[in-house]
Amino acid sequence: MEEAWMKELAGCCEALGCRWEAGEPLEKHTTFRAGGPAELLAHVQTGEQCAALLKAAEGLDIPVHILGKGSNLLVADEGVKGLVLHMEPKKEPFCRQENEIRAWAGENLSALCLFALEQGLSGLEFAYGIPGSVGGAVYMNAGAYGGEVKDCLTQVTFLDEQRQLRTLPAKELELSYRHSRFCGTNCVILEAVFSLKEGEKTAIKAAMDEVMEKRRDKQPLEHPSAGSTFKRPEGAFAAALIDQCGLKGLRVGGASVSEKHAGFIVNDRKGSCRDILELIQQVRKTVEEKTGYRLETEVEFWGK
């Protein structure tokens, strides 16, 4: 670690009680299992830690990326410059107040679903098995099997682009298909509150088990991926279009279009970011040429 800014931020991490690593491979922190190193990776478990490191990095004019579970992310083989703030799980990530659950953004979304089950609260069954963090789910209004985060989200606490702590109700978050007001901004989601309904634990568990069985049956969970690679185009379904074009099994290097679900690009042979990006481009080009639909990716890209 030679850069002066890295030494200063590492010192900040230690003062704040945050773990940190220099040159940490981000393939360890993404579900695609691809990508190069972060110059400096800091693990945060509180809003205070997050705010302090953001201000320190910005004062040094160092770029910052926010990382949750890395489930909708593709990182360049060369890695990323600057500071990566990893919103990691913490010891007590959830708090129940009547029929609401306050959740830390860095916690696994499925862990939130299991906590709701333990509490006998219904409304999050659809989200069980989505491999992202609570913050990531809010950021993109994650959804599956007829449900979306916006159906039960009440409010979100975040750091705005001026690094002021703010809380907004869900109705002001511009929640729509795979979108929120946070998309394309430098805001950092810290906590989310979900309003649920009391239910029978056996019925809630049965619904969660049914969702998970559907995932196992239809999705290539045995291989690294970022889930659905493409957003649903208006008037069609991405997987159906890709299948229609005969692209199941199409391969570039270590990455391929899943034979099980055409909407998934899987890293089944330890492919590189370059392999995955090239395959995405080939799929998009072929689908547009053959069907007229332009596929937009759900996956975000980080690169130097």
Sign of dihedral through CA atoms 132, 134, 137, 140?
Answer: negative
Question: Could you give the C-alpha distances from 221 to 124, 264, 282, in angstroms and in order?
Answer: 21, 10, 23
What b/e readout covers 79-89, taking b as 16+ CB neighbours within 10 angstroms? bbebbbbbbbb
Q: How far apart are alpha carbons 91 and 112 in whole angstroms?
A: 13
* Active-site annotation holder among 133, 225, 228, 258: 228
Helix, strand, or coil (residue 193): strand
The letter for the amino acid at 59 is G
- 21 included as an active-site residue: no
Q: Provide the strand spans (E) within the chain.
A: 20-25, 37-44, 64-67, 73-75, 80-87, 94-97, 100-104, 121-122, 143-144, 147-148, 153-159, 165-169, 188-195, 197-198, 225-228, 251-252, 255-257, 264-266, 300-302
Instruction: Give how far the C-alpha of residue 34 lies from the chain's centroid of Cα atoms, to the nearest Å.
Output: 15
* Active-site annotation holder among 33, 178, 232, 284: 178
What b/e readout covers 2-26, taking b as 16+ CB neighbours within 10 angstroms? eeebbeebbebbeebebebbbebbb
Q: How far apart are alpha carbons 95 and 259 in whole angstroms?
A: 41
- 178 included as an active-site residue: yes
Q: How far apart are alpha carbons 198 and 221 in whole angstroms?
A: 31
Contacts of 276 (CB under 8 A, 6+ apart): 32, 34, 74, 252, 255, 265, 267
- 228 included as an active-site residue: yes
Residues designated catalytic: 178, 228, 298
